[in-house]
Amino acid sequence: MSAHSELQYLEEALRILARGFRDLPGGDGQVQSPRLREVLNETALKLQDNFPYPHPLYAGQMLKPPHPVARLAYMMALYLNPNNHALDGGRASSAMEKEAVANLAHLFGFEKHLGHLCASGTIANLEALWVARHARHRGRVLASSQAHYTHARMCEVLQLPFQDLAVDAMGRMDINALEDALQRGSVSTVVATLGTTALGAVDPLHEILKLRERYGFRVHVDAAYGGYFTLVETLDANARNAFAATGQADSIVVDPHKHGLQPYGCGCILLRDAAEGRFYKHDSPYTYFTSAELHLGEISLECSRPGAAAVALWATQRLLPMVRGGEFARGLTHSHQAARALHQHVSEERCYLAGPVPELDIVVWALTARGRAEAGRRTQAVFDAAAQRQLHLALLRVPGELAAAWWPALECDAESVTALRSCLMKAEHRDWLPRIISILDDAAKEAAGA
């Protein structure tokens, strides 16, 4: 957690930044409170009441620490605090946002695009569905039952009918269920999730696009969690084919604050047809006068947006280009390898019940038992025992239909099964896996003897 060496780089960069404003008269408007140090130290004590999110022994929820370059660039930008709504508020940071977003569009195969950063994947998905409503009117929106709950919620906000679809044993959208729904008509948009938040499952986008040729619906790709895995070369055939097809989607959402090494909140919405910017047209009589260039507020549902997020993303892309075989891609590959190795371990040990082979970097497993209820109790005991050893995992309620497919020998004495879930998001997880497994197995032995 030491930041002393990082802060030396920040101090040098801030001196360079200050030179650009050396012609201004003295006084930066900052008030030095005598209690500043006291309050900062009090804040640090408060923040100790957290799980150790940056540490490799935190392997639970989707919490990945930002890269030092992102953290430092963000902090440096805060000394200016640009607002990327209009060029008045963030001239340099708006240019950096356009460049960073264009790099993301290129990553997903968009030759032309319209896009911007936003607060989160939730807001980005809202915007994608809002554009879809304008482009495709008010037909049904379809997504898998493992898609993020934000889609149903945002369809309610937008007053669009929503239907979730069955999934296969891997947690991916069932193509037969999709075609059955399409045959009933009145479908405007299909949401394909590339990396579900529960399982890391990748919907078969390439198969969904084949159905689009026949039924003529809009395709939105929610790659908020898994999008960057398009750079990983060790994925299975379904995931590889799905990511290879992203350039044919109508819209894509990705969250740089998940696998893109960025601080929260940094989501991104990309539209393949730049002409869909017409849906954003509005009048702001005091905002857009300084330049004939596009102001990002003219293509965003949000108004004020932190320019610091764009600066951090731009700097990260400069240091770690998004190319196959590069350092950034290798970090994702290490996460994928760690997940496959952990899954292999829980598949081989008799005390565990392995879930599906991970397509990305999320592993799900439960504890061997006679019935679903007992498996859940044992899982909770291992979760607690692991936390006592500083290994922090997550829990997942596996619905009955998936539990039946994965663990048919369990007696159906409960509607669902509580399972362990691990997001191995950090590249370091691969090297720490032996220690993680050792702690996990010790926790399982303790729980079994309790």
Tell me: pLDDT of 301 over 90: no
Higher pLDDT, 254 or 288: 254
pLDDT value at residue 215:
95
Calpha distance 88→325 (Å, rounded): 39
The region, left, alpha or beta by phi > 0 then psi within -120 to 50, assigned to residue 100 is alpha
Q: Are strands 114-118 and 267-271 parallel, antiparallel or unpaired?
A: antiparallel
pLDDT in tens, 381-436: 999 999 999 999 999 999 999 999 999 999 999 999 999 999 999 999 999 999 99
pLDDT in tens, 124-158: 999 999 999 999 777 999 999 999 999 999 999 99
> Which band of pLDDT confidence, cut at 50, 70 and 90, is reported for residue 300?
confident
Higher pLDDT, 111 or 365: 365
pLDDT in tens, 169-195: 999 999 999 999 999 999 999 999 999
* CATH fold for the domain made of 327-449: Aspartate Aminotransferase, domain 1 (3.90.1150)
Return phi, psi of residue 114, to 5°.
Answer: -135, 130
Select from 381, 441, 375 the least CA-distant residue to 408: 375
What lies within 8 Å, CB to CB, of 16 at 6+ separation is none
201-215, 227-241, 251-265, 286-300 — which is least confidently predicted? Answer: 286-300
- Consecutive H or E run containing 365: strand 362-367
Select from 196, 150, 140 the least CA-distant residue to 173: 196
pLDDT value at residue 267:
97
Token couple for 299? 């293509």
Query: CATH top-level class for 91-319?
Result: alpha beta
DSSP character at residue 249:
S
Answer for the pair 342, 436: CB distance below 8 angstroms, yes or no: yes
**pTM of the model as a whole:** 0.93
Token couple for 284? 């702001």
Select from 297, 256, 280 the least CA-distant residue to 90: 297
Select from 225, 238, 191, 232 the least CA-distant residue to 357: 238
CA distances from 29 to 26, 32, 177, 339 (A): 9, 10, 61, 50
pLDDT in tens, 62-111: 999 999 999 999 999 999 999 988 888 889 999 999 999 999 999 999 98
Calpha distance 9→116 (Å, rounded): 29
The residue type found at 185 is G
Calpha distance 268→299 (Å, rounded): 12
Q: Where are the domains of the chain?
A: 91-319, 327-449
The residue type found at 1 is M
- The 8 Å CB, 24+ separation contacts for 49-53 are 51/392, 52/390, 52/392
pLDDT value at residue 363:
98
Select from 203, 213, 146, 151 the least CA-distant residue to 182: 213
> Which band of pLDDT confidence, cut at 50, 70 and 90, is reported for residue 249?
very high
pLDDT value at residue 281:
76
> Which band of pLDDT confidence, cut at 50, 70 and 90, is reported for residue 291?
low
Tell me: pLDDT of 282 over 70: no
pLDDT in tens, 26-58: 765 566 788 888 998 999 999 999 999 999 999
CA distances from 240 to 87, 205, 255, 265, 383 (A): 39, 10, 19, 28, 33
Answer for the pair 271, 114: CB distance below 8 angstroms, yes or no: yes
Tell me: pLDDT of 286 over 50: no
Q: What is the mean pLDDT of the chain?
A: 93
Across the range 314-330, mean pLDDT stands at 97
pLDDT value at residue 391:
97
